[in-house]
Copies of this chain bind each other. A is one copy, B any other.
């Protein structure tokens, strides 16, 4: 954690960020589902990112906003892209969606086929690119924290993560590979192979530890520490 703040300090000061080259703060929107909706709560990951920026004396340079709605799938983002993102004229958008696309397959029979997932994802990207938005795509985190690929949706989450990595490459976008980060973390920090209680409280939504971990990974992606 200390090392992270040192790196962050360096990154925020030394790197000539877009934010610093302009008069107004860099507007960053997090576009996603219930995890992002909770991200703006007092203990949420977006709130924590704002706090990190304050601690580094950089909060005037950034304006972070959440655009998360519970239960959203990729095409829900598509349907509200104009209203909730484009109209806000953001400089940067994190796209963090996919958990419900997979989960709803068994929880309500209304998940998203992989090919449609990609089509709507790229439709989002096309419209954002047309507005010169810097796009950072995130792989989905977890549905269950077991670290040996034995959570029911692991196969699908791994597959959709590969689809997102391919989308990033194909569209020359930055990738914040949350699924990989969460996986690596859980291999080290979930010795009892529990289903929940480490980074999530209920297999999906984040604990304080989870929000902190997510905030750091998002921040690294934003300021390109890594």
A interface residues (Cβ-Cβ under 8 A, vs B): 75-76, 79, 104-113, 116, 119-120, 123, 144, 148-159, 162
Contacts and interface: CB of A to CB of B under 8 A. Distances in A.
A120 to B, nearest CB: 8
A190 B156 CA distance: 19
A148 B156 CA distance: 11
Nearest to A163: B150
13 contacts: A75-B116, A75-B120, A79-B120, A106-B109, A109-B109, A109-B110, A149-B154, A149-B158, A150-B155, A150-B162, A153-B155, A154-B158, A155-B156
A79 B108 CA distance: 23
Nearest to A158: B150
Contacts of A150: 155, 158-159, 162
Nearest to A101: B110
Contacts of A157: 155
Given A151-B155, A151-B159, A155-B154, A108 B107 contact: yes
Nearest to A119: B79
A155 B160 CA distance: 14
A159 B152 CA distance: 7
**Which 5 A-B pairs have CB atoms at the shortest separation, nearest pair first?**
A154-B155, A105-B109, A150-B158, A106-B109, A150-B159
Contacts of A153: 155
Contacts of A158: 148-150, 154
B119 A110 contact: no
Nearest to A108: B106
Contact of A111 (B110, B119, B123): B110
A14 to B, nearest CB: 37
Nearest to A155: B154
Contacts of A148: 158
A41 to B, nearest CB: 25
